Amino acid sequence: PILIDQEGGRVNRLKNIISFENLTSEFFGKKFIKKPKEFNFFYKLFIDKTTYLLKLIGVNINTCPVLDLRNKGSSSIIGDRSFSSNPKIVSKIGDYCINYHHNNGLGTVIKHIPGHGLALFDSHLKISVIHNKKKYLIKNDFLPFKRSKSFFAMTAHLIYSSYDAKHTVTHSKKIIRDVIRKKIGFKGILISDDISMKALKYNLYENATKALDAGCNLVLHCNGKIKEMKKLSKIIPLIDVFTQKKTSQFYNFLG
């Protein structure tokens, strides 16, 4: 698996090759509402060009779509990376994104499951605690992730106090089991967000092992510090049978 963050908009790792800065998820969300025919044409073209470039450089997984809702008063870390504040619109465009990637032979990673839109802080820097009630979360933030056909999903480094007042989603057995696996029904490989982010309070080793113990199948370490990566690679256990099976399914999909 070779992953890249290539959402478009400000999350554009290929900016030295092609400019996607104006093609934000918000742009496509508005286009979807106001001019659906234009949306269908331009969004497919956008994904086709993106996947062509990714395959050209050897990437086989794009860590998108962002299925988080846009909420007033929340941190700008999501902002225009969200398609909409309407969960049904986010869900529909997310399905387009996944299907277009799959049709072009690339995997996707839905993020940040079960929803990052209510976060008050950037989880790269600080933890956010979400106090909304379960009923609200199920009807809103959790809805876009439900029954997704994506092979992969990425966890949110947030605390949902109505489910688990102590642990972030990444470290919460209860949320991964009861919300992500059962309520949302995600059946694929669950990946942690970057374990070097400051929203996680432990050291790298504990952040990684606690994520795996909670039910994440893989952990991401993305700060580029190779010495840390080498240490982690020696102490993190081999992938389990479930992850091996799902990875094989993904490889079969790639052909």
CA dihedral over 237, 54, 186, 80, signed as positive or negative: positive
| Structure-block tokens of residue 83 | 């398609």
Active-site residue flag, 124: yes
Taking a C-beta distance cutoff of 8 angstroms, is the pair 153, 186 a contact? Answer: yes
48 is catalytic: no
Annotated catalytic residue, options 124, 131, 213, 240: 124
∠ CA 13-15-18, rounded to 5°:
120
Helix 36-56 and helix 25-34, axial crossing angle in degrees, nearest 10: 150
Helices (H), the chain: 25-34, 36-56, 87-103, 134-139, 173-174, 204-214, 226-235, 241-254
Active-site residue among 68, 141, 164, 193?
193
Q: Catalytic positions, please?
A: 124, 193
